[in-house]
Amino acid sequence: MNALWITLALLTAGFVGWPVTAWVFRLARTIDDRADAGSGAAAGGDAAEDPAADSTTDPDLPGPPEPAAPDAPAPTPAQASTTPAAATPAAETVSSVRILRGGAIIGILERFAVCLAILAGQPVAIAYVVAIKGLGRFAELKATPVAAERFIIGTLTSMLWAAGVAALAKVLFLG
């Protein structure tokens, strides 16, 4: 019977933690948007619509080129040859950078590890999870403040969720 409760706790921590983390990201985005609106800055964008999406972009990088007006005439070959290479879409090397790739899978594995560590009575193992995750993301976190903020929010939410599920299962079902 204990194996059943452990399995249910692991599944709950791992897979139900994703919507919880997405909700916390949405809440954080709402708070940021309100703060930005209060200071007069514009808020919104694709990231505000889906805060759980793992495709946050760095605002310091240039975005995709603006589309031409539908009624604007197409440039003639002579005009196109005078257009600088940097302005053409083909020369656009990177329009956006996808940061924290694999975050959903890493989050599930992280929650499994934290839950299992607590259920096994080895909470010190959580430090290994944090260390491995931090070292694996170090370069990306150092280069992109947006990634660092997302990393902290996601990690704390995931770990608190997994620890809470494990503690509840341990107290209520595993005695």
Which pLDDT score, from 0 to 100, does residue 86 have? 45
8 Å CB contact between 26 and 52: yes
At 26-43, the pLDDT tens digits run 999 999 888 888 876 444
Please, are residues 110 and 159 in contact by the beta-carbon 8 Å criterion? yes
Mean pLDDT check: name the lowest of 63-67, 69-73, 138-142, 151-155. 63-67
Q: Which residues contact 123 (CB under 8 A, 6 or more apart)?
A: 117
Separation of alpha carbons 5 and 154, rounded Å: 26
- First CA to last CA across the chain, in angstroms? 12
| Predicted confidence (pLDDT) per residue in 114-132, tens digit | 999 999 999 999 999 999 9
Tokens of 136: 């694996």
Q: Counting beta carbons within 10 angstroms of the beta carbon of residue 25, is it exposed (0 to 12), middle (13 to 18) or buried (19 or more)? A: buried
Please tell me which residue, 77 or 115, carries the higher pLDDT value: 115
